[in-house]
Amino acid sequence: METLGITEKNWDEFLKWLWDFIPGAISAILILVIGLWFIGFFSRMLRKFFKQKDYDETLEKFLYDLINMGLKVLLVILVITQLGVQSSSLVAILGAAGLAVGLALQGSLANFAGGVLILFFKPFKIGDFIAAQGIEGTVKEISIFTTKVNTFGNQLAIIPNGKLSNDNIVNYSSEDKRRDKIDIGIAYESNIKTAKEILLALINEDKRVIQEPVPMVVVSELGDSAVTLSLRFWALNEDFWDIHFNVIEEAKRRLEDAGISIPFPQTDIHIFQKDLPKKNA
């Protein structure tokens, strides 16, 4: 018998295939439903866990999205495998696709890996003042691919995390206090002892300066045009720059009032005249 081009043999083969396919399809649907329920339940438990822990907000979101997406990809693989697709073939396809995407997005993957390292090891956090990649400023936002920094002039600098995680970073906010070093040159004919006393008194007068370790003034260099005195003291981060600028201004004023000059770079030229031999008349 042949109806609409379908032979009895083809019909029997179709019914056999359908009979073999139905159990797998039912199993796939059950796995999908149970899997989605489990992922939803696990996601809620994960959110509650993160709320109890003091993790970085960006790190929490990243981990949540990564785990949630990983579970969904695993569920899709299980469902497709249950429908009769060979797992080895599926893994090969996913591997080839992953390799192609990886080659096309090498820079983005490097930034992604850098963002993961920054979020896990926390070399800095939002609100810290850092210097990196030739940029100094306050960290405004840390994302998976980039870090946003507000510079001193209130410009927004966006630094790729790949470069940021593989280069030097100076975090000025990681400690609660900082040590300052201010170099001031005085003339060679000036009295070094008097200059040191004036500068040390200036530092000790400021109550914001930390007295332990003890502030000091030392001769750090005998330069071409001046004797360099180095002021070294500790201050809290919030007081650091106010003290720094005040010391520079007051140091110049007090040294000049005491008759101690602060020379600028200069060169002395000595000319020697040599008697030339007289020409014969």
Distance CA(201)–CA(89), nearest Å, equals 80
Q: What's the one-letter identity of residue 10?
A: N
pLDDT in tens, the chain (281 residues): 444 455 666 666 666 665 666 776 777 788 888 888 888 888 888 888 877 776 666 667 777 777 888 888 888 877 777 776 665 665 666 666 665 555 544 556 777 788 888 878 888 888 899 999 899 999 998 887 889 999 989 999 999 988 888 889 999 998 999 999 999 999 999 999 999 999 999 999 999 999 988 999 999 999 888 999 999 999 999 999 999 999 999 999 999 999 998 887 666 676 776 665 666 55
Check residue 63 and give its pLDDT. Answer: 74
Nearest residue to 79 (alpha-carbon basis) of 36, 31, 22, 39 = 31
Distance CA(145)–CA(107), nearest Å, equals 10
Check residue 102 and give its pLDDT. Answer: 55
Residues 213-242 have pLDDT tens digits of 899 999 999 988 899 999 999 999 999 999
Q: Which ranges of the chain does DSSP label H, i.e. alpha helix?
A: 8-52, 57-82, 87-104, 106-121, 161-165, 192-205, 237-257
Strand 146-151 with 6-7, pairing = unpaired
Distance CA(170)–CA(75), nearest Å, equals 44
Check residue 150 and give its pLDDT. Answer: 95
Instruction: Give 152's contacts (C-beta < 8 A, 6+ positions apart).
Output: 136, 137
Domains parsed from the chain with CATH numbers: 2-104 (1.10.287.1260), 121-171 (2.30.30.60), 177-257 (3.30.70.100)
* Diameter of the chain measured on Cα atoms: 144
